Amino acid sequence: MVDTSWKWDATLFAGSAAYYARGRTPYPTALGTALADDLGLDGTGRWLDVGCGPGTLTPHLADRFERAVGIDADREMIEEASRSGVTNVEWRLMRAEELPAGLGEFRLITFAQSFHWMDRAPVAAAAHGMLTADGALVHVHATTHRGIDGGVPYDEIGELVRSFLGPVRRAGQGVLPNGTPGGESDFYRAAGFQGPHRIELPGPVVTRDADDIVAAVFSTSSSAPHLFGERAQEFEAALRELLGPQPFHERFGDIALDVWRP
């Protein structure tokens, strides 16, 4: 369940973009290879990354296409992405709800950890109409800010966040007491997509230090820097004290790529 009274606003990830590179574990190289093999990507066509963030998928897929477009509703995310140095990607500050926005057709459209923030029915319908006849939509299921094993005291971190921000999960200017919504498959099917077939990739094991974990915490909507206001430095100091000096060897969950066809 999700609180249907929650509305998106531009502060959702305010201040988080700068923490992504350090705090989010990169997608494995195998992701690009797996999609290229499955979809027959050969350097032709165009790719649209919806909710691209700071360009997290770019290193894995940009060279599989002639051109690509990344869109995101957060200005800082787009600014970070534009510094990636990839020359065949056009970055656009816009919400997914503005699609199709005259962007044309695409061979691949991706949603990587982003679809749940959108008005999903119209966005899925718009994406369906933007695919070429042989195109595909790929929904990336992954959790890259925290692992599933490795000794990081995530329960205690959650308690610390709540001690600063209150007991109900924050998200932009609103709250999400029941978390973000699921059931994305229903929206894709209602929009006319068929499938999916799933590609699974093993999660990595990564050694991370306190700087990495602090960045990961600040990279999320529920503990974005702006939420702490003048107490941001106080929160970070308390978080570092909780983490201590030791490194953590985290095992991350598997990554699933759901491939949908129009």
Helix axis angle, 210-218 relative to 154-165, nearest 10°? 50
**Residues comprising the chain, all counted:** 262
Across 21-58, b (16+ Cβ under 10 Å) vs e yields: ebbbbebbeebbebbbeebebeeebbbbbbbbbbbbbb
pLDDT at 3: 47
Q: What is the pLDDT of residues 159-189, one digit of tens each?
A: 999 999 999 999 999 999 999 989 999 999 9
Q: What is the pLDDT of residues 105-135, one digit of tens each?
A: 999 999 999 999 999 999 999 999 999 999 9
pTM, rounded to two decimals: 0.95
Rounded to an integer, what distance in angstroms lies between the CA atom of residue 124 and that of residue 47? 16
